[in-house]
Amino acid sequence: MTATGAQTATPDRSAPGKVGGGDAARAAQLRAANINPRTGLATDYLNHFNEAVMLLEMIPDMPECAEDFLGWQPLSYAEHFTASNFKARDLAISAYNSADPVIRAEFDNITSAMTSILTAVSDAMRDVKQNKTRATLAEQATGWVKPLVTLAGGIINGGSEADVDYIMTH
């Protein structure tokens, strides 16, 4: 782990004004908006991926749901919140932008992987017409994406090796 990573594991070492910093008012504002003050991330973004997973899970029993899944479009974190009715969407985007770059990069890598999988499956489903093939694609994609959604949720909620180390030493 780099020195930067070690510093972000302890909230009181973060830079003032940054997510995870000592600003109690900012932390309270983030908490009230369901944004993790330590990570600067909101679980609401995962709803975007959970929607796609839900549609994929329905395809084996209701093949017509494939058309709904094919309508799913990838959105970045900022795009999701800009298009949403999330009450604190500007705060969510601001907190994301000021989040620790290491945490944000880890989160972005996972969400990029989910987006790549879902986009590739969508492309493959457009090329096939048999419901059985679409169902197989949907089941496989669900098996790949659901664990990634869980990982992304762990990052949002501050779960990392550095946090475990911090908890164990204090």
Q: Which residue ranges of the chain lie beneath pLDDT 70?
A: 1-22, 160-170
Q: For residue 26, is it within any domain?
A: no
161: in domain? yes
Tally DSSP H helices, then E strands, for the chain: 9, 0
* Domain annotation covers residue 145: yes
Residue 10 counted as domain residue: no
Is residue 27 in some structural domain? no
Calpha distance 140→157 (Å, rounded): 27
Phi and psi torsions of 55, nearest 5°:
-65, -40
Helix (H) or strand (E) holding 130: none
> Tokens for 83?
């298009």
Residue 12 is assigned to a structural domain of this protein: no
Q: Is 137 a member of any domain? A: yes
The whole-angstrom separation of Cα 15 and Cα 111 is 26
Domain residue limits at 120: 44-169
Residue 161 has a pLDDT of: 52
pLDDT at residue 148, as a whole number: 96
Assigned domain for 30 exists: no
CB 132, CB 63: distance < 8 Å: no
Q: How many domains does the chain have?
A: 1
Quote the pLDDT of residue 104.
Answer: 96
